[in-house]
Structure 1
């Protein structure tokens, strides 16, 4: 029997509703140029407030879960 542990992104990403790209880069999740490319490709949903681009905590978790490759036994 194999048990697979899944990364708990809820614990890794600080509480908050929206994060700007600098916040996300400071968390060492994505670099700003990488995030912008992913936004341009439609891979990440954004919230734009004025000129600032924000990504919701839920969207960050969704994206990271989609990109996580489970550990094999």
Structure 2
């Protein structure tokens, strides 16, 4: 069974790093490491870093290992 992240994530276009952490997905420190390694695409608005919903879903799907029965 494949996880449907589109249904799980709150409806928003952009998420701040803090919001992603509050949802319980990825800690801010880990996201900063992924951004530095260019594994997450970001959008900067002023000094704030945001991640798009599409990018977050792409990353989660890429790094999800499906369970076998």
TM-score by length of 1: 0.92
Question: How far apart in 2 are the matches of 1:63 and 1:57?
Answer: 10
The count of residues paired between Structure 1 and Structure 2 equals 69
Regions of 4+ moved over 2 Å? none
Q: Which structure is larger by alpha-carbon Rg, 1 or 2?
A: 1
Question: How far apart in 2 are the matches of 1:56 and 1:30?
Answer: 14
Give 1:71 deviation, angstroms. 1.2
Work out which structure has the larger RCO, using CA pairs closer than 8 Å and 6 or more positions apart in sequence: 1
Q: Find the partner of 1:66 among 56, 62, 65.
A: 62
Question: How far apart in 1 are the matches of 2:56 and 2:23?
Answer: 11
Note the aligned Cα RMSD (angstroms): 0.5
Give 1:50 deviation, angstroms. 0.2
Question: How far apart in 2 are the matches of 1:31 and 1:53?
Answer: 14
